[in-house]
């Protein structure tokens, strides 16, 4: 046996020093922990909800109380809603000028690169801290195109109130699953985007969500409506410091893609390892429209995240590109879902996952082709790389094909770093450490190149692999 075949690779932990800096918990207001009718009504009063939203919240609460927790996927038994604070209002109102944001909050976002990214290449930025948006701004030239980009609370009571009423939680109803119902009851913050027909937003819009309070939940709602023939790239970033108590993220994203429109939705979810990330994202795509998902999942203790696309119009298209990195103490269950509900639709799901130090990274997908979706095509590809014998990775594909005239395929690869490849690269002059680093970097590169530049850099920093060599 060659000596290098017995060597083990030690992969350094992700450096979270930037993300784990904690601010003092000086919230202006927060509700009691737990989930009761009184708490939901208190949140509604704090938000100055219209009557229909108050009723919506209370109905969602009733659904939540009656609905069981899912009996599949990773365990969430460490999540006790009695200990979760569902609403924390920071000590500031929403600002349209960065200079007006309080220094402690501003410093947090400055460390994370906001609004540095805004100054560089973004058309608009929203920043949420705990339960409320603290900063929101859109460039004048984008607003002049008729593009609306604002916080959800402003949209709920402003000129676009009826549009919000028509679309809010129609794609993800509270009956969808228990944590969708929870979201419907206690949601707060998030962004509203409307792009008029034919308008191309040439530079991205971005929202960044920061959860600072220990033992709290964040339940932002993002509603995006892109009209006929329009284009939008929306970027979402998330982070939180680590505490020794459970935190919860149960946000919701709804995207409406009009006829011939195209939406690209990029996200990096970098939650701390005490976070339960139970987020729900869904898009409906009309005739000839396209939804593109680019997803990176790195943080959290437990994740259940499966962005779903409903291809409702003929020729609608979906692409999903994702990467997951799981290390010690992480159980990340991620993937994508698609429903082909019209003829000549197409979907392409490509994912990569890396697991180390006992981490669990599972891929779960669902492809449904309805009887009327003739000549539809779907291709699913999943590759998993395990860096040691303590980690685990599984693929769980589900395909429900109700039409004969379709082309559907699934491919999965699970393995470790090839010792033959290491040997080949070493024979070309690389050290073993450099050889292994090159292989892992090449594995992740097809996903990294799809991310916006600033997030590709963040991803590379998060999964930077320091090869330590052999300990026998």
Residue 186: inside a domain: yes
**4, 185, 267, 276, 321 from 78: Cα distances, Å:** 41, 21, 26, 9, 30
Look at the chain and report how many structural domains it folds into. 1
Residue 387: inside a domain: no
The pLDDT profile of the chain, 472 residues, written as one tens digit per residue, is: 333 333 333 334 444 444 444 444 556 678 899 999 999 999 999 999 999 999 999 999 999 999 999 888 999 999 999 999 998 876 655 555 556 555 555 555 555 555 555 545 455 555 666 656 556 567 677 788 999 988 899 899 999 999 999 999 999 999 999 999 999 999 998 899 999 999 999 888 887 766 666 678 889 999 999 999 999 999 887 655 554 567 898 999 999 999 999 999 998 777 778 889 999 999 999 999 999 999 888 778 999 999 999 999 999 999 999 988 888 899 999 999 999 999 999 999 999 888 888 999 999 999 999 999 999 999 999 988 888 888 899 989 999 999 989 999 988 887 887 788 888 888 988 888 778 777 777 777 777 777 666 566 656 655 554 334 322 2
Residue 389: inside a domain: no
Residue 423: inside a domain: yes
Residue 161: inside a domain: yes
Residue 403: inside a domain: no
Please tell me the pTM assigned to this model: 0.86
C-alpha–C-alpha distance, residues 267 and 206, integer Å: 10
Domain of 448, in residue numbers: 3-305+417-462
C-alpha–C-alpha distance, residues 203 and 200, integer Å: 9
| Length of the chain, in residues | 472
Residue 227: inside a domain: yes
Residues 6+ apart with CB under 8 A from 142: 123, 124, 149, 201, 203, 205
């Amino acid at each position: 046996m060659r000596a290098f075949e017995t060597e083990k690779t030690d992969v350094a932990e992700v450096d979270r020093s930037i993300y784990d800096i904690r601010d003092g918990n000086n919230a202006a207001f927060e509700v009691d922990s737990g989930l009761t009718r009184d708490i939901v009504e208190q949140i509604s009063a704090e938000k100055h909800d219209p009557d229909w939203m108050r009723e919506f919240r209370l109905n969602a609460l009733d659904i939540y109380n009656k609905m069981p927790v899912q009996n599949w996927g990773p365990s969430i038994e460490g999540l006790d809603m009695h200990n979760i604070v569902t609403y924390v209002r920071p000590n500031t109102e929403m600002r349209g000028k960065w200079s007006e944001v309080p220094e402690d909050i501003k410093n947090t976002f400055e460390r994370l690169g906001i609004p540095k990214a805004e100054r560089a290449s973004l058309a608009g930025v929203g920043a949420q801290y705990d339960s409320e948006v603290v900063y929101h701004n859109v460039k004048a030239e984008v607003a002049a195109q008729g593009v609306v980009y604002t916080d959800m609370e402003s949209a709920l009571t402003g000129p676009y109130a009826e549009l919000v009423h028509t679309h809010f939680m129609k794609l993800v109803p509270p009956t969808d699953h228990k944590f969708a119902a929870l979201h419907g009851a206690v949601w707060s913050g998030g962004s509203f985007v409307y792009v008029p027909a034919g308008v191309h937003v040439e530079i991205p819009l971005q929202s960044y969500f920061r959860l600072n309070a220990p033992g709290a939940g964040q339940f932002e709602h993002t509603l995006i409506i892109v009209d006929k023939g329009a284009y939008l790239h929306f970027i979402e970033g998330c982070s939180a410091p680590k505490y020794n108590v459970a935190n919860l993220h149960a946000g919701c994203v709804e995207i409406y893609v009009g006829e011939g429109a195209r939406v690209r939705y990029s996200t990096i979810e970098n939650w701390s390892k005490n976070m339960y990330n139970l987020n729900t994202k869904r898009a409906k795509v009309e005739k000839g429209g396209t939804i593109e998902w680019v997803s990176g999942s790195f943080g959290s203790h437990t994740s259940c995240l499966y962005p779903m696309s409903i291809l409702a119009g003929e020729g609608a298209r979906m692409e999903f590109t994702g990467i997951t990195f799981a290390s010690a103490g992480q159980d990340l269950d991620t993937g994508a879902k698609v429903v082909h509900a019209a003829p000549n639709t197409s979907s392409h799901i490509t994912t990569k996952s890396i697991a180390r130090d006992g981490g669990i990274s599972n891929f779960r997908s669902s492809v449904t082709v309805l009887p009327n979706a003739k000549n539809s095509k779907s291709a699913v590809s999943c590759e998993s790389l395990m860096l040691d014998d303590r980690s685990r990775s599984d693929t769980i594909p589900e395909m429900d094909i109700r039409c004969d005239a379709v082309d559907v395929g699934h491919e999965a690869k699970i393995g470790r770093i090839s010792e033959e490849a290491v040997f080949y690269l070493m024979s070309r002059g690389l050290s073993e450490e450099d050889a292994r680093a090159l292989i892992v970097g090449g594995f992740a590169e097809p996903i990294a190149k799809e991310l916006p530049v600033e997030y590709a850099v963040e991803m590379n920093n998060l999964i930077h692999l320091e090869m330590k060599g052999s300990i026998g």
